[in-house]
């Protein structure tokens, strides 16, 4: 299949020069002509877009340097190579032309073999650049596509694992999606806070929300007679129930060990699974961590998890109203929850309610 001829725009205010260049180039290329700088700029913006411009320097009203400057300032024309064609043959003139951005410099009187050789060289270089640019664009698009695909696979895998835990505890319903959005909301609200700004960048927030559904993955290791018991657990049963935090963290740690390199969301998922039942005052489990020793991810998940548990009915309790849940959460300020996380919850309370309604059972 034949390829189309390259298009060359020749620009000169002297008709004789345009005629000479046109006759020289037309046997090999599609040639367009302009006798003034402003007209050259207009043609450069029409199709077929020139593959190369032969530009006279000394022209009235708008000289070649001005034309080149405007071509380079416009994203639509800045990649068109320009060869200066001029009677000025001093070394400093040629240097100035090349420093201005021209790719080559041809002096008059024109020698046909030199003109054709220089033109062919610059067209070959442009074709190579275009191929490289197209390949780069393709590679960038392919990388972006594969990243989206990997992200989707990752999200599906996370939800598949989380749903596995859900099958053991069927009352949770949309709990995973709600807590995921609560965590994202809190993190966004705290993103500019001095205590959290160094931790909660956009990538970390996305990873937090992505990993949040794995917070109770350890429940798959809790016996049915305890996990599904409709009444209050005995002290011994409660101790077994509490082990789900470490079971989940250990399972994720094993997955991390199988990975060839660190996986950011798994690190956060392990933190959340392990520590989302810790309390600000140190009275939580499994490690009795207090204050800043509790990972930020787990602090956010703690509030999200408790709020959702409060507003949802369970076999052992009815659902609380939004107002009652709000009051109970605030009572945990400085004891159960990080005070600044409480403040974010207060700011975003209407958003919490919207999430709860959107993903209601």
- CATH number of the domain where residue 208 is located: 1.10.3210.10
Q: What range defines the domain where residue 56 resides?
A: 7-139
Question: Angle at the Cα of 139 (from 136 to 142), degrees rounded to 5?
Answer: 150
State which of 97, 117, 139 marks the end of a domain.
139
Residue 159 within a domain: no
Question: Angle at the Cα of 263 (from 261 to 269), degrees rounded to 5?
Answer: 145
User: What CATH number has the domain bearing residue 41?
Assistant: 3.40.50.2300
The answer for 291, left when phi > 0, alpha when psi is -120 to 50, beta otherwise, is: left
Q: For 178-226, what is each residue's pLDDT tens digit?
A: 999 999 999 999 999 999 999 999 999 998 998 888 898 898 888 988 8
Residue 164, pLDDT score = 66
Residue 60 within a domain: yes
Reduced to 3 states (helix: H, G, I; strand: E, B; else coil), residue 107 is: strand
Residue 188 within a domain: yes
Helix H or strand E segment including 151:
helix 112-168
Residue 138, pLDDT score = 86
**Domain total for the chain?**
2
Residues of the chain with pLDDT under 50: 1-2
Residue 168, pLDDT score = 62
Residue 323 within a domain: yes
Residue 172, pLDDT score = 56
Residues for the chain: how many in total? Answer: 361
Residue 77, pLDDT score = 94
Same domain, 130 and 213: no
Residue 144 within a domain: no
Residue 90, pLDDT score = 62
pTM: 0.61
Sign of CA dihedral 47, 51, 56, 57: positive
Residue 2, pLDDT score = 43
Same domain, 125 and 33: yes
Residue 1, pLDDT score = 39
Question: Angle at the Cα of 108 (from 105 to 110), degrees rounded to 5?
Answer: 95
Q: Report which DSSP code applies to 33.
A: E
């Amino acid at each position: 299949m034949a390829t189309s001829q390259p298009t060359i725009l020749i620009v000169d205010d002297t008709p004789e020069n345009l005629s000479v260049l046109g006759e020289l180039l037309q046997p090999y290329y599609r040639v367009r002509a302009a006798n003034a700088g402003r007209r050259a700029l207009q043609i450069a913006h029409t199709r077929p877009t020139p593959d190369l411009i032969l530009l006279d320097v000394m022209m009235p009203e708008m000289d070649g340097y001005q034309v080149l400057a405007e071509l380079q300032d416009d994203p639509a024309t800045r990649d068109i190579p320009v060869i200066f064609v001029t009677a000025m043959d001093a070394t400093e003139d040629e240097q100035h032309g090349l420093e201005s951005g021209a790719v080559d410099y041809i002096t008059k009187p024109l020698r046909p073999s030199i003109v054709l050789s220089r033109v062919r060289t610059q067209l070959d270089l442009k074709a190579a650049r275009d191929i490289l640019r197209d390949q780069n664009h393709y590679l960038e698009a392919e990388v972006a596509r594969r990243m989206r695909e990997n992200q989707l696979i990752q999200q599906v895998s996370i939800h598949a694992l989380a749903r596995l835990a859900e099958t053991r505890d069927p009352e949770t319903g949309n709990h995973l999606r709600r807590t995921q959005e609560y965590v994202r909301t809190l993190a966004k609200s705290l993103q500019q806070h001095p205590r959290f700004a160094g931790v909660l960048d956009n990538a970390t927030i996305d990873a937090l929300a992505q990993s949040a559904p794995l917070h109770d993955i350890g429940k798959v290791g809790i016996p049915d007679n305890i996990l599904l018991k409709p009444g209050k657990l005995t002290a011994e049963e409660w101790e077994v129930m509490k082990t789900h935090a470490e079971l989940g963290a250990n399972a994720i740690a094993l997955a991390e060990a199988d990975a060839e390199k660190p996986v950011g969301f798994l690190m956060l998922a392990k933190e959340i699974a392990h520590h989302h039942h810790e309390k600000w005052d140190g009275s939580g489990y499994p490690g009795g961590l207090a204050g800043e020793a509790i990972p930020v991810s787990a602090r956010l998940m703690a509030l999200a998890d408790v709020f959702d548990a409060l507003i949802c009915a369970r076999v052992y309790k009815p659902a609380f109203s939004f107002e009652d849940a709000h009051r109970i959460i605030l009572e945990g300020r400085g004891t159960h929850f990080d005070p600044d996380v409480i403040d974010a919850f207060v700011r975003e309370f209407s958003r919490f309610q919207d999430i709860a309604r959107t993903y209601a059972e």
